Amino acid sequence: MNSVLAAAVGLLFSIMASVCFADAGGTAVARIIAIPRRDNGYGNLEATTITSQEQLDAFLIRAAKERELAWQNFEAFQQSLRQAAIDFAREALVILPHTEPSGSISVDLRLLRVEDNRLICQIDRHVPAIGTDDMAYHCFAIVVGQSQVREIEVQIPNRVPRRIIIWPRAVSSPTNSTPE
């Protein structure tokens, strides 16, 4: 993809409104950053919690090394994360990849509720009657407030919920998630 087209796609994602989730008092608890929804490059990612600009920079450098192998739209992914205006003094970025066994299955992420500092999300799967026989690599980027959210629970119908610890987080660990 040429750099002009990549910049235009990145700008489109940054202009799109983030989905924001507020608590009962109206305080913003989490927001979903608009990133490309599907990319083969996501197959190289693990669930990751990023709590500083330095960690974001290091994450993107590692992801860029995989760019030649799989990414179709790394520039838009990177640009969306860099333009998300994350205040790392109060917020964390959670990268949540999700793989489906068929490219015909579409997915959406819903932020459902907060219970005891745990943000409960659900990945809704839309499975058609006839599918394709290819893998689909999806990803979601969620910004959470550190005073409101300490953990994310990802629910997928008919699967065991997955929990991702946000705060506190071991600095040396690239991910604090449990396997799906």
Indicate the pLDDT class of residue 28, thresholds 50, 70 and 90: confident
Is residue 172 in some structural domain? no
Is residue 180 in some structural domain? no
> 59-100: per-residue pLDDT in tens?
999 988 876 668 999 999 999 999 999 999 999 999 999 999
Is residue 16 in some structural domain? yes
Whole-number pLDDT of residue 174: 39
Strand partners, 95: 48, 141
Is residue 63 in some structural domain? yes
> 141-159: per-residue pLDDT in tens?
999 998 889 999 999 988 8
Is residue 170 in some structural domain? no
- The tally of domains found in the chain comes to 1
Is 50 exceeded by the pLDDT of residue 180? no
Q: Which domain holds residue 154?
A: 3-165
CA separation for the pair 97, 113 (Å, rounded): 20
Is residue 97 in some structural domain? yes
CA separation for the pair 65, 41 (Å, rounded): 10
Mean pLDDT of 15-19: 48
CA separation for the pair 36, 136 (Å, rounded): 13
Chain center to CA of 40 = 14
CA separation for the pair 109, 102 (Å, rounded): 17
Report phi then psi at 68, rounded to 5. Answer: -65, -25
**How is residue 73 written in tokens?**
């739209």
> 56-68: per-residue pLDDT in tens?
999 999 988 876 6
Report phi then psi at 144, rounded to 5. Answer: -125, 150
Gap between the terminal Cα atoms of the chain: 33
Is residue 29 in some structural domain? yes
> Out of 66-70, 99-103, 124-128, 171-175, which region has the weakest mean confidence (pLDDT)?
171-175
Strands 118-126 and 151-155: parallel
CA separation for the pair 140, 159 (Å, rounded): 18
Is 60 exceeded by the pLDDT of residue 13? no
Is residue 70 in some structural domain? yes
